[in-house]
Structure 1
Amino acid sequence: MEFDQALRSWTRFRCHGTDLARDSAPVPETTLGLALAMASGDGYRHAEVLRYPSVTVYPRLFPLVLIRTVDHVPQVRTLAIEVLPRLIAASDHETFAAMLTVACRLQDRMHADPMLELVLTVLRESADDDILAILARLEGRSVRWAGQALIAKRRLQAPQLAMIAIGRFDDRLQERCAEELADQAVPQSDPDLLRPLLKARSARVRTVALTGLIRLGQFDGVDEFLTDRNAAVRATTQWGLRRAGMEPAARYRELLQPPPPSPKPVIQGLGECGQKTDVVLVVPFLDDPRPQTRAAAVNALKHLGAELDLSRFLIDPAPSVTRAVVAYLSERRTLPPVETLRELARGNQPIHIRRSAVSLLREHGVWHRIWVGLTLYDDPDTNLSLDGLSGLGYWCRYQAASINAPIDNQLRSELQALIRSRSNVLYFDTRQTLQWLIGTARPTTTY
């Protein structure tokens, strides 16, 4: 479509003396020659080229013919619609998939209905294996559009729906096919339609299949998904076990004693549905050699409401662990001292440790946020430096008027010194706003 628009403008103004827009001018009967003429800015040229028998020889021209079916000239549209069935008959799966992609993008154009009806009818009337092969070559919006059109006309039966749901197709199309299967299985009380979907790679499909089975009262084998890697699948399984009169947290406790070879999903599940007394089962995994397990333990402790000091894990070598610790400390409001965080933020620590310290420093209040911005203004790490620069500018423009927090006199002096040292790099309005706010803020009251 971009090619068509660009060529239309190029030939309309006769750029470089091209003759492609001139009716009856010789056209090289090659893919490029016919494409240039078919996308020219002259409707007579379009009609002339569509009559060429060689148009059906070059598959790369077929999507351009689709564009001509929504041309603003009625005669061109008629010619394009007439030649379209021959092009589709000569197309392989890849070419027809390309045509469907263009058809999807043209669906909102005026006069698109005849073309859409034609290509979708051909798709619906194709053999089952051909339909699956064509859908496998589509992606994004076009495959969802084509798949929905097939589902709406009940063209895809249970075997095809299952093959799409568990195959290598677009995630959302897989989910839609799984939902269609569930809509058939539940009224028919046929759980066998859904059981094959439990092996799908897509977590969305597994979730839909589990939901349908639970609605049918089929709980056999459901507990196997308590340790699924996906949180939505685990949550659905936990819901199903409760409906069956079982307690999922008890099952998680059993799985942790003794610890399984891969404890991460078990820890995650216990954190999602356990109680505060389960903290003792999770704490030993804070020292696990696997970073993902340590991060899962920190997140589980957060969900369980543990009252622990996890600040020592801010220097963990794994970024996933430090991010989890930041979330835990922020939610529990058990922030490490300012000096400790400053040392981590300014020291020769790995970048993920510095970023974690900066995040927690900002939680100490607005004046420490300003300190972070001024300190990181010229930081060697580009992301931290840009964060400091943009953060200060945004804060001074949109949030400065709402600041009424008191400030410690020592921190006031530090900030004023930082502003003076940055006087040559701070924007003038930012510098003035910061000086005024820091200078007029009331001091912290001591008792």
Structure 2
Amino acid sequence: MIWKLWRADRTTPPDERPARPPTEAAARDHGRPGATPHERPGRRLPGGDDRDQDPHGLTAALRAAAGRGDAGLQTAAALLIELDTTSAIRALGTELQLIIRLDDRARRWFWPADHPAKPVMGAASARLRDGDAGPVAIALASMHADGRIRQAAVDRMASAPDPVWTPFLVLRAADWVRDVRTPARTAVVDALAVADAPHLAAALDMSLLLRERQLGHFAHAQAVAGLVVARPPVRDALLLAGPAIRRRFVFALGQGLGWWSPERLESLARGDRDRAVRAGAAEAVCRAAVWSARDDLLRELTRSRYAQVRGLALTGLVRLGRYAAAAEFLDDPGDLVRAIARDAARRAGLDALAHYRAAVTALASPPPPTTADTAATSDNTTATATATATATATATATTGNAKSATANTTVATADVMVSTADVMAIAGLAEAGTERDAPLVHALLTHPDARVRAAAVRGSRLLGVLPVALLLPLLRDPSAAVVREASLALRPLPRAVPEALIPELLADARVEVRRAGYRLARARGAAVALRAGRALTDDPDPGLAARVRSDLATRADLPAPPHQNLRR
């Protein structure tokens, strides 16, 4: 019946068809009653261009709507069909996951007669049928449940090649209907034959998301073939910009085919924003540096802000036998870097554990008062402030001349100068030490610097020796990091925490303390967690309240208290 009505409408001459009433949105956009969709100022037909319109606001609106499930997708589709401009289709073309979700949901919207989103798809197909479809209407029509409408939309897109159509053509190239799939694949091949960056980027991005589908291999193979034969500037453009999935794929393919120069790899290793690309480039650079014995390049990479790059550079130094240089990073902020440095120290005949013990002991011992401090104490308040400012400036200048700014950041807390290397020495002692070193770490639980206290709690947990009496007061520590570490340390020992303390923590004014109380309540079992959840259902912090409500909805899945062999 639907097919008969559609065929009858198409065979009716245009001048005999009943005129569609102007939509409220069309009249509002044009500013006068009775305005038709043709007269909307923002409208662009295929081949038009309105790049001067900023689509960023629309992109944000689409992302916000898509995050609200099926209702949000309906809102996004309604917003797009109302605009129906080139800027709207460009904004949609940057959200590939949204396109795939719309394609999946659009067919389900068509069949229920009373579905709220059915008018949107009906408007798109009607505009396509009447020759009045804008770019968004054509794109939405290509997702219609009726294969004949999808085919007509593909034909319209193929007749006016443009990079904005490429993601939708790649999607239809994996269509289950042959009459839709064949012209879409032909259009994809024709678009990639141009061999320019916009078509290739759009095809590659969408094909990477669809390559696991049963019929998604064709478009992916065509995109890879286009990438292989592309000019080097096009490859560089695809590597340096775009989504992470594309950049990682292009880098891996280019690395296997030898596309990237040493200069390009060094640039990526020093500061690329993607972790996988940066790590792959750093590994290749460090391997080449080892083969060519370039100590200078490896030492330069050890000053990188990224721990992964520093670890690869240190590995290269170790392979070259530069053990003493690698052992200088025993106090590095990176866990893996410290482990590599300890191995280098062992090979160099150095005692890394003695280094950590000495550093932690010095941190626990307050520095002796100097002559300048004694004179400042006997002087007036102005002289005291001046002396303190001078000492701080001197220490900062000395730290600035250190080898690594990352490893030597110094902070003054309660007249105690603590550097990042001092804090990392605690972590190193916990990683390399034994339970006999626990008293050295426990002595720092009352240190005036919050970073030291947090590291001491974390170190006690790693050593497996938890002083419960010292950890309980830290559940109300002024530092949120210390509170979190204390709750994580006490979670494996739920019975060590007084049951009366949990309601007090849940009623605290600070959200980090309430989070710690809820974490400990969950460790005591489902009954205590249920009571704590009821108390925090309407918590002022939206994140904590959402987590509590989610836990209450799945109360049967609350984890059992962890069992660890920890020594008190």
Q: TM-score, normalised by structure 2?
A: 0.55
Q: 1:312 to 1:116 in 2, by over 3 A?
A: closer
Q: 1:230 to 1:46 in 2, by over 3 A?
A: same
Q: 1:332 to 1:277 in 2, by over 3 A?
A: farther
SS at match of 1:286: coil
Q: Choose from 247, 250, 255 the match for 1:151.
A: 255
Q: Does 1:222 align with 2:302?
A: no
2:265 alignment counterpart? 161
SS at match of 2:323: coil
SS at match of 2:212: coil
1:248 alignment counterpart? 352
Question: Structure 1 counterpart of 2:430, which letter?
Answer: G
In the alignment, the residues of structure 2 paired with residue 388 and residue 164 of structure 1 have an alpha-carbon distance, to the nearest angstrom, of 41
1:26 alignment counterpart? 131
1:316 alignment counterpart? 477
Q: Does 1:137 align with 2:299?
A: no
Cα distance, 1:144 vs structure 2: 2.4
- Out of 324-333 and 170-179, give the one that drifted further: 324-333
In the alignment, the residues of structure 2 paired with residue 38 and residue 347 of structure 1 have an alpha-carbon distance, to the nearest angstrom, of 55
In the alignment, the residues of structure 2 paired with residue 132 and residue 247 of structure 1 have an alpha-carbon distance, to the nearest angstrom, of 47
In the alignment, the residues of structure 1 paired with residue 531 and residue 550 of structure 2 have an alpha-carbon distance, to the nearest angstrom, of 7
Deviation string 1:210-253 (CA, Å, 9 cap, x unpaired) is 33432343335323433332322222322332233322223334
Does structure 2 conserve the Cα–Cα contact (< 8 Å) formed by 1:47 and 1:79?
no
Question: Structure 2 counterpart of 1:84, which letter?
Answer: A
Q: Choose from 252, 255, 270 the match for 2:429.
A: 270
In the alignment, the residues of structure 2 paired with residue 138 and residue 289 of structure 1 have an alpha-carbon distance, to the nearest angstrom, of 46
Question: Structure 2 counterpart of 1:159, which letter?
Answer: E
SS at match of 2:534: coil
- Out of 383-392 and 304-313, give the one that drifted further: 383-392
Q: 1:101 to 1:78 in 2, by over 3 A?
A: closer
Cα distance, 1:83 vs structure 2: 1.9
In the alignment, the residues of structure 1 paired with residue 109 and residue 550 of structure 2 have an alpha-carbon distance, to the nearest angstrom, of 46
Q: Choose from 321, 326, 344 the match for 2:504.
A: 344
In the alignment, the residues of structure 1 paired with residue 507 and residue 215 of structure 2 have an alpha-carbon distance, to the nearest angstrom, of 66
In the alignment, the residues of structure 2 paired with residue 334 and residue 18 of structure 1 have an alpha-carbon distance, to the nearest angstrom, of 65
Q: TM-score, normalised by structure 1?
A: 0.68
Q: Does 1:394 align with 2:563?
A: no
Deviation string 1:70-109 (CA, Å, 9 cap, x unpaired) is 45346414531442135542x45xx643432112113234
2:208 alignment counterpart? 104
Deviation string 1:424-443 (CA, Å, 9 cap, x unpaired) is xxxxxxxxxxxxxxxxxxxx
Does structure 2 conserve the Cα–Cα contact (< 8 Å) formed by 1:234 and 1:269?
yes
Does structure 2 conserve the Cα–Cα contact (< 8 Å) formed by 1:373 and 1:388?
no
Q: Does 1:119 align with 2:223?
A: yes
Q: Does 1:370 align with 2:539?
A: no
Q: Choose from 140, 155, 161 the match for 1:55.
A: 161
Question: Structure 2 counterpart of 1:80, which letter?
Answer: A
Deviation string 1:319-362 (CA, Å, 9 cap, x unpaired) is 321232234445578925445x2563466564433554565567
Q: 1:7 to 1:222 in 2, by over 3 A?
A: same
In the alignment, the residues of structure 2 paired with residue 209 and residue 45 of structure 1 have an alpha-carbon distance, to the nearest angstrom, of 57
In the alignment, the residues of structure 2 paired with residue 254 and residue 329 of structure 1 have an alpha-carbon distance, to the nearest angstrom, of 28
Q: 1:143 to 1:317 in 2, by over 3 A?
A: same
Does structure 2 conserve the Cα–Cα contact (< 8 Å) formed by 1:69 and 1:78?
yes
In the alignment, the residues of structure 2 paired with residue 360 and residue 44 of structure 1 have an alpha-carbon distance, to the nearest angstrom, of 59
What root-mean-square deviation, in Å, do the aligned CA atoms of Structure 1 and Structure 2 show? Answer: 4.3
In the alignment, the residues of structure 2 paired with residue 111 and residue 193 of structure 1 have an alpha-carbon distance, to the nearest angstrom, of 46
Cα distance, 1:133 vs structure 2: 3.5
Q: 1:117 to 1:345 in 2, by over 3 A?
A: closer
User: How many residues matched?
Assistant: 385
| Structure 1: gaps spanning 5 or more residues | 400-447
